[in-house]
Structure 1
Amino acid sequence: MSTSTPPTATAVRVRGLRRVFGARSVLDGLELTLARGEFLALLGASGSGKTTLLRILGALDGADGGEALVPEARTIVFQEPRLIPSKKVLANVTVGLPRGAATRATGLRALAEVGLERHADAWPATLSGGEAQRVALARALVREPELLLLDEPFAALDALTRLRMQDLVGELRRIHHPAVLLVTHDVDEAVRLADRVAVLRDGRLVTDEPVTVARPRDPGDPAFVALRRRLLADLGVHTSEEAPPHDPTPASVSPEGASA
């Protein structure tokens, strides 16, 4: 599998990608392109291969066939913040970067962007779940990636914190302009954030369409509701009626085991 930099206008180009576990093809000839600065949300049931694809693009796993062209500058934010307990917040943000005053200043700017500049000298154990995930975002973006990979980064947060984190990711994407691939089970989250939404099933994309709902996106907007219903149907969830416009509970595909 190739991991060289794709053409200038393209952040990700995947052709015929295959990943096999035993006798099961999790990814089976998958095709995907992602433009620079574009935000793609990837939906799919548990075990459909969403995280497998993300791990391949992030060089954490290998493919059994096909080609994946990605930029060298890429970072991943996982569901768990994965902070180093023995390092303070600022040191977690700048881990792996050269030491010096410029690095400290860069780290502090990144913390300010996520609203945690006053927590630079705090220990990870003192942070709330949302604060820890904001540190993880700062750590990812301090490297100015061309590709940001998000693996269900809000799944463990409460509903209100999740909405705030979604807004923060949208704002950071506007500032830094990376291409973004978000893996999620949450249909409303996908429609709220993404430029495109794709559905992965049987190792291939069965849906890949732009989100044309006007921003800021209201779950009660008829266009939002219609797209939400179509995506749920593609995921095998059929609804008999629309969700109430003021229902704060996001539509999601309930996991039935470990995510692939």
Structure 2
Amino acid sequence: MTPAPEQPAGDVAVQVRGVRRVFDGTAVLDGLDLTVARGEFVALLGASGSGKTTLLRILGALDHSDGGTVLVPEARTTVFQEPRLIPSRRAWQNVTVALPRAAAGRDAALAALTEVGLADRADAWPGTLSGGEAQRVALARALVRSPELLLLDEPFAALDALTRLRMQDLVGELCRVHRPAVLLVTHDVDEAVRLADRVAVLRDGRLVTDEPVGLAHPRDPAHPSFAALRRRLLDDLGVHRPAAAPTSASTPAPAPVSTPTGVSP
């Protein structure tokens, strides 16, 4: 059984110092440092295999480190890419699964489902829910535990584009209301800038970027500061906009090349 990390003190929710995690002789995390304040929303970007989910699993006590110090609050929970609902339990029962009996009543589940806009689906079976609805049940299951640390492992990746935007708005609003510390793992640069107070980039086992966003909500991707931060993050991720071909009076200019908004898994 993986031992639970120790708890931080004061206004710090997450304190990671010099953390290493080695698989088959390769250090996926190599002396990583990260601090997240209580109530702060941090997004973590990185290429596939860079160690983002490994760090999330260590913080959630689902894995262990091979060195360094990890301090996190005891009250923490994780929302994964898949909702991971129990098919034989109704939506409200999935919300309260594994809670102590005294806290696992229908009223608590309905309050959480109301916050995510699913009170009318409380008695639905998981198999009848859409992808977005199932993920909202998973979010309600996380919030009903009143976590001090909410870990989000690409929770919108399997959703269609419109549902994804709606879920981003919902998560952003709920996090501003409940004020847990949040660590979001994502491949989507626009998603990170849209939601987070800080955005970090993980490469070669360490953070190469850790930058505050500094924009008021709601955030407009067309805002110059949003676009500038997006460009810097894409550069740090190794995603570069192709250079425009030279033009002349007799040669029509090529069509504009759109800037990628995320990094594919």
The change in CA–CA distance for 1:133 and 1:250 in structure 2 (over 3 A counts) is farther
Counterpart of 1:258 in structure 2 is: none
Q: Aligned runs of 1:154-193 on 2, under 5 Å?
A: 154-193=156-195
Partners in 2 of 1:138 and 1:179 — Cα distance?
16
Counterpart of 2:26 in structure 1 is: 24
Counterpart of 1:80 in structure 2 is: 82
Query: Could you tell me the TM-score, scaled by structure 1's length?
Result: 0.93
> What RMSD in Å do the two structures reach over aligned CA positions?
1.9
Partners in 1 of 2:242 and 2:188 — Cα distance?
19
8 A Cα contact 1:2 1:68, kept in partner:
no
Q: In structure 2, the residue corresponding to 1:215 is in which secondary structure?
A: coil
The change in CA–CA distance for 1:235 and 1:16 in structure 2 (over 3 A counts) is same
More divergent stretch after superposition (206-215 vs 26-35): 206-215
**Residue segments in structure 1 that go unaligned for 5+ positions in a row:** 256-260
Partners in 1 of 2:242 and 2:32 — Cα distance?
32
Work out which of the residue numbers 203, 206, 212 in structure 1 matches 2:205: 203
Query: Could you tell me the TM-score, scaled by structure 2's length?
Result: 0.91
The change in CA–CA distance for 1:203 and 1:61 in structure 2 (over 3 A counts) is same
8 A Cα contact 2:190 2:230, kept in partner:
yes
The letter for the 2-side match of 1:164 is R
Q: Which of structures 1 and 2 has the bigger CA Rg? A: 2
Partners in 1 of 2:102 and 2:9 — Cα distance?
34
8 A Cα contact 2:96 2:104, kept in partner:
no
More divergent stretch after superposition (2-11 vs 216-225): 2-11
The change in CA–CA distance for 1:36 and 1:101 in structure 2 (over 3 A counts) is closer
Counterpart of 2:261 in structure 1 is: 251
Q: CA deviation at 1:130?
A: 0.2
Partners in 2 of 1:100 and 1:26 — Cα distance?
41
The C-alpha deviation readout for 1:98-135, integer Å capped at 9, x for no partner, is: 33687221110000000000111110000000000000
| Paired residue total | 251
Counterpart of 1:116 in structure 2 is: 118
